[in-house]
């Protein structure tokens, strides 16, 4: 099995090369973070807001898919990937 999406307390983590959590389980990890620096708290708040906005957009797309919305979602995903790659180079 190449890819699986599940709750993180599940015992199947060694069955696959790629593992993804469902949105709710993924999002709860960010809720546990408690930055001490005000700027970092603001970054986290913005990230969490964007995370759930994107999730709501995906749900709306699922109910009413369109090529225009698909492109918007792809652009937002590309932006998030570039941001994550940039963050990984700044550590």
What integer pLDDT is reported at residue 36 of this predicted model? Answer: 92
d(CA 12, CA 44): 30
What integer pLDDT is reported at residue 73 of this predicted model? Answer: 87
Work out whether strand 18-21 and strand 3-6 pair parallel, antiparallel, or are unpaired: parallel
CA-based nearest residue to 33, from 20, 51, 18: 51
pTM of the shown model: 0.67
CA-based nearest residue to 13, from 27, 31, 25, 28: 25
Query: What is the arithmetic mean of pLDDT over 68-81?
Result: 85
What integer pLDDT is reported at residue 3 of this predicted model? Answer: 45
The domain ranges of the chain are: 1-32, 34-91
Instruction: State whether residue 64 is helix, strand or coil.
Output: coil
d(CA 68, CA 74): 10
- At 10-38, the pLDDT tens digits run 555 555 566 566 777 778 888 888 989 99
CA atoms within 13 A on the CB side of 17: 2
């Amino acid at each position: 099995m190449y890819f699986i999406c599940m709750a993180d307390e599940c015992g199947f983590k060694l069955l696959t090369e790629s593992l993804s959590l469902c949105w709710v389980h993924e999002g709860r990890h960010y809720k546990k973070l408690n930055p001490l620096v005000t700027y970092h708290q603001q970054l986290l708040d913005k990230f969490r807001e964007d995370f759930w906005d994107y999730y709501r957009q995906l749900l709306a797309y699922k109910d009413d898919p369109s090529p225009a919305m698909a492109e918007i979602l792809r652009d937002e995903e590309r932006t998030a990937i570039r941001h994550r790659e940039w963050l990984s180079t700044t550590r």
